[in-house]
Structure 1
Amino acid sequence: MLDALEVDDDDSVSIVEEVEKAFGITLSDAEATACNTVGDLFALVCTKVPTVSGSDQLPCLTASAFRAIRRAIRFRKPTSQIRPDTRLDSVIDGDDHRAWRDYLTSHTGLRLPVPSLQKSSILFAGFVIISGSAILVMGLSVPKLFLAGVIGLSAALAIQYRYGRRTWSEFDTIGDLAREASALSIAQAIRANGSVRKVEAWSALVALVAPFSQRNGDIGTRTRFFTERR
């Protein structure tokens, strides 16, 4: 079991924002600061949302998300045979998944993760071209070379962000994507069903926190955010 996530201060703020957005709640600074472990944060979340220990009346959130995603994909690709273990890249085609995210969001009503920006040659090519152009215009003095480099890097990063390829590379299967979507959309499920199972609320919280961890390992209730609380 992971003893600490080792998140930095910026990430700790981002975690709170993600939890607030996903669960549809508001956490005060004092409440968030008092959370030393993931279990503390979970206990706090459970005071803000209606949770039950178990109920056969409530649908499984991951299964519901999977069925919604499957319906949307089949509408676009009727011949697709889709199971939870179906590889994502076998049905989600194309080098850029932003269009698929927009499509699935509009057809399922789920919040889906933003595809990750992939490294590409655009950044290097943009840096070389723009820096070279700046050098030709400004000359070859050391300060101007430095300025040209800054201009080239800034412009290349902007180009990469705007035109770079984005994919769901962190998800192997449709089931993985459905689990993440159910975590991000848990507030919608709570509004629709009136409550949520504690086990699913915990799974959603772990899914929201895990991307910020600087270490590999299973996250438990005793997993701290920092090695020592600062």
Structure 2
Amino acid sequence: MSSSLRRGTLAAAVIAFSFASLAACAAGSDAQTLEVKPDNAATSVGDIKVQNALVITQPDVKATGPAVVSATLFNNGTTAQTLDSINVEGEGTAQITPVGGKGKLTVPAGGSVVIGGKGNASAALSSPSQTVLNGSVQKVTFAFSETGDVSLSAYVVPAESYFSKWGPSDIPAAPTSSPATAPSASITGSPSAPASGQPSNSASANPSASASQ
């Protein structure tokens, strides 16, 4: 196992417990389940708090499918804000898709939004390069309509074990080997026809006919 993969596995193990708080984050940033400080990326700017930020790659390092940004966004203000973009340094802007697939992603006043995982909004990097390396740290910038840019450094982890439920939904299937072509039932040159040179039933050199003469 390469050193980068070992770092990715270690990072995933360290932050898995704190990342489990995503399941209860809809209760708000003051919920009892969120009192444990996360080991992974979190920061606050103004009314906006970004927590549990990760870049999650394909489980197979050789796969060419998308990577995703996963995070929980809290808005402690009295006005709703839209998330206008997510930029991963060196990779460009992620494609943000809200629940339902239309419009902008809105973080309600006094509420929260989860990015990543089944039934939640998503943010995908369609063609991540080699800079998005498991075990590394990437600068991720969330741009909000009122607060502006909120940047932090996020771990890059593969969509394995606990993180499989938050990772890319588009994961290439494992290649399958094609079975060998079965031989045809009818073989050319079938011996069903009489072989050439086989004596016929009425041979001219019949010994019984010669004896009767």
Range of TM-score over shorter length: under 0.3
Larger-gyration structure (1/2): 2
TM-score using structure 1 length: 0.24
TM-score using structure 2 length: 0.26
Higher relative contact order (CA 8 A, sep 6+): 1
The structure in which a higher percent of residues are helix is 1
